[in-house]
Homo-oligomer: A and B are copies of this chain.
Amino acid sequence: MNFRINCDELLNKLNIIQKALPAKTSMPVLMGIKIDVFKDYMLLTTCNSDITIQAKISGESIEINETGRCLVQGKYLIDIIRKINSKQIEMFVYENKLLIIKSERSEFKLNIMTYEDYPDIKFVNEKNRDLEPIELESFPFRTSVKEILFATAVNEKRPILTGVLFKNENSKLTLIATDSYRLSKKVINLNNVNDFSMVIPAKSLKELLNILEDYEGTFNCYIDNSKVLFKIKETYFETRLLEGNYPDTSKIVPSEFSLITKFNRDEIMQAIDRVSLLSPQDKERNYSIVKFSVTNNRTIEISSSNQEIGDAIEEIIPIDNIEGPVLKIGFNSKYLTDAIRSLPSSDVAIKFTGEIKPFVVCSDEYPNLLHVILPVKLN
């Protein structure tokens, strides 16, 4: 193995595949980056228990003198390439023991790992050549995922909730995330695609978002029983899917409301932010609880009360007149701010059905996105 390569291009690709390098692992071989050099291109591969990433370098960025392959400590290779202040570098394997990295003035010799120990990587579209690709567009896909991703469960009590449900039916792709205390739902149009349903781990989606961030255009998606592959230009990103049945959430979203309130988005965000300062913490979930009250004289108060510290109260003026019953409802302020943050419109609506019933946060400007929040009981 022997090639000259453009240092920036190599670093770009290393930054992509780094996302699958495990921070800790019981399988030390996974700390390695697999390098395969063919006649016209090279592949860089990493994997952990969730995802596998493979990036390709070809064309003018690389000048291959000898094909070959090796496995090296990923962290060190990346650190070295990051610090090398050189346009071109030369890399070759010496006596099957060392990977030599040569730049203008410096020379690094990295001990190589046993290539054969690395797991056999086969992507789903190679295992099953009949899989039909689904074409997705980067911008709407990544925006939609970001709008709901925060609502997935963090703790692993119900593993299926740590992922996002992607359910395609009748040319509509619905994304659902819920931690059982709140739910976020987004619908995108997806024409000419067969129905499917899969649950992708939130962790994998975060890494995928990073890769999609700088890419505008379309990419392909191949869904298998237990895995999904995203093929973004020359990069392969494959993640395992979460097994099990995603709960039926269709009945959770209320559709009739007894009280609809509308606010200037920034005003209500700041008010909640301030009032939360003194709110009692729900220790188990580490969120602060605030109270939202519509009073008899049709004003709205957000307040919190904390025996040890003190009280906070703030009045906010809704955009339209309020019609509906007097109401007092308590909730985790973080849930409301998360929901409002994902709706970057000037106004947001909060729609209630009752004091201990789930309420909806949405915006006229984003008809395909909504958030449902479960209240907490007030003492």
Contact = CB atoms under 8 A, between A and B. Distances in A.
Contacts of A314: 105-107
Interface residues of A, number: 32
B107 A308 contact: no
Interface string A95-133: 000110000011111110000000000000000000000
Q: Name which of A84, A108, A110, A271 has the most chain B CB atoms within 10 A of its CB.
A: A108
Interface in A299-342: 308-316
Interface in A70-106: 73, 76, 79-80, 83-85, 98-99, 105-106
Nearest to A270: B85
Given A111-B308, A309-B111, A315 B274 contact: no
A277 interface: yes
A275 interface: yes
B275 A106 contact: yes
A107 to B, nearest CB: 5
B84 A274 contact: yes
A31 to B, nearest CB: 11
A312 B98 contact: no
B109 A73 contact: no
Given A85-B270, A273-B83, A76 B310 contact: yes
A310 B106 contact: no
Contacts of A111: 308-310
Nearest to A317: B105
A73 to B, nearest CB: 6
A161 interface: no
A109 B277 CA distance: 12
A278 interface: yes
A109 B105 CA distance: 65
Given A76-B277, A105-B316, A310 B98 contact: yes
A313 B98 CA distance: 14
A278 B100 CA distance: 13
A143 to B, nearest CB: 29
A312 B84 CA distance: 12
Contacts of A76: 277-278, 309-310
Contact of A310 (B105, B108, B309): B108
Interface in A219-251: none
A274 B80 contact: yes
Given A105-B271, A105-B314, A105-B315, A83 B309 contact: no
Interface string A245-281: 0000000000000000000000000110111011000
A312 B278 contact: no
Contacts of A106: 271, 274-275, 312-315
The 9 closest A-B pairs by CB, nearest first: A106-B314, A110-B310, A109-B311, A109-B310, A83-B274, A108-B312, A79-B277, A111-B310, A107-B313
Given A76-B310, A106-B274, A106-B315, 7 more contacts: A76-B278, A83-B273, A105-B314, A105-B316, A108-B278, A108-B312, A110-B310
